[in-house]
């Protein structure tokens, strides 16, 4: 009988991509999604991820995962970082590009942090994935956040121009989920 793992997210794109990645890497678990009202916190990506998962576990009343994504511009000392959602909503792809005009580098790191809690009162564990790349003029399908402006290092396509299989093989989300899967596979059956 599969064990249920609750993914607390209101983002259908993150849910679809996470399900796609987990479908080939995690057997014996069933992913359930819940869109819960958890306040957006401020702080480092690790602090935000840990506290969000702690609160989610209390609301779910059991094991759960949460996910936080950051886009870190080298020229801006890591900003917008975990605040990329708000920057993107305010200024869009073009505005994010313009933020780097005049700087000598457009290097960026896509960062994904999955947090896992075994349930209320347990300390969440963090699983981080990074993909290095650069910020480019928007190309490709604009349906998933900042994917059209992030081009992984050594590639000639943005995330938005890649097939799901191409992106999943190198994305920050895939790398974080791979670590989470390895951890979950090692859990005893009764956890």
State pLDDT tens for residues 121-155: 999 999 999 999 999 999 998 888 999 999 999 99
Kindly state whether residue 20 falls inside one of the protein's structural domains: yes
pTM score of the predicted model: 0.89
Q: How many angstroms separate the CA atoms of 29 and 64, rounded? A: 12
Q: 128 pairs with which residues across the strands?
A: 113
SS3 content of the chain, % helix, strand, coil (to 5): 40, 25, 35
State pLDDT tens for residues 19-41: 888 776 667 677 788 999 888 78
Residue 40 marked ligand-binding: yes
- Runs of H (alpha helix) within 67-157: 84-98
Kindly state whether residue 131 falls inside one of the protein's structural domains: yes
Kindly state whether residue 9 falls inside one of the protein's structural domains: yes
State pLDDT tens for residues 45-77: 899 899 999 999 999 999 999 999 999 999 999
Please report which helix (H) or strand (E) contains residue 60, including its range. helix 45-60
State pLDDT tens for residues 75-122: 999 999 999 999 999 999 999 999 999 999 999 999 999 999 999 999
Kindly state whether residue 191 falls inside one of the protein's structural domains: no
Query: 165 burial class (0-12, 13-18, 19+ CB within 10 angstroms)?
Result: exposed
Residue 10 marked ligand-binding: yes
**Cβ–Cβ < 8 Å for 155, 8:** no
Q: Taking 50 as the threshold, does the pLDDT of residue 179 lie above it?
A: yes
Question: What range does the domain containing 127 cover?
Answer: 4-186
Kindly state whether residue 91 falls inside one of the protein's structural domains: yes
CA dihedral (185, 29, 70, 95) positive or negative: positive
Residue 43 marked ligand-binding: no
Q: How many domains does the chain fold into?
A: 1
Residue 105 marked ligand-binding: no
Q: How many angstroms separate the CA atoms of 113 and 70, rounded? A: 8
**Cβ–Cβ < 8 Å for 49, 126:** yes
CATH label of the domain that carries residue 85: 3.90.950.10
Kindly state whether residue 69 falls inside one of the protein's structural domains: yes
Kindly state whether residue 29 falls inside one of the protein's structural domains: yes
Quote the pLDDT of residue 15: 87
Residue 144 marked ligand-binding: yes
Residue 69 marked ligand-binding: yes
Residue 86 marked ligand-binding: no
Q: How many angstroms separate the CA atoms of 157 and 95, rounded? A: 20
The reply to whether omega before 133 is within 30° of 0 (cis) is no
**Cβ–Cβ < 8 Å for 84, 71:** yes
Kindly state whether residue 101 falls inside one of the protein's structural domains: yes
Quote the pLDDT of residue 1: 46
Which has the higher per-residue pLDDT, 134 or 13? Answer: 134
Q: How confident is the model at residue 42 (pLDDT cuts 50, 70, 90)?
A: confident
């Amino acid at each position: 009988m599969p064990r249920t793992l609750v993914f607390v997210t209101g983002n259908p794109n993150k849910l679809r991509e996470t399900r796609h990645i987990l479908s080939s890497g995690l057997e014996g678990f069933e992913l359930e999604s819940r869109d819960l009202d958890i306040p957006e916190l401020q702080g480092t990506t690790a602090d935000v991820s840990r506290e969000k998962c702690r609160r989610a576990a209390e609301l779910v009343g059991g094991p759960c995962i949460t996910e936080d994504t950051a886009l870190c511009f080298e020229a801006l000392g890591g900003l917008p970082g975990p605040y990329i959602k708000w920057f993107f909503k305010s200024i869009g792809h073009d505005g994010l590009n313009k933020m780097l005009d005049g700087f000598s580098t457009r290097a960026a790191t896509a960062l994904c942090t999955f947090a896992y809690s075994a349930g209320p009162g347990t300390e969440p564990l963090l699983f981080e994935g990074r993909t290095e790349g650069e910020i480019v003029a928007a190309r490709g399908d604009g349906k998933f956040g900042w994917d059209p402006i992030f081009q992984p290092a050594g590639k000639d396509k943005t995330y938005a121009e890649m097939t799901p299989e191409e992106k999943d093989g190198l994305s920050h989300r895939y790398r974080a989920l791979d670590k989470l899967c390895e951890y979950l596979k090692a859990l005893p059956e009764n956890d």
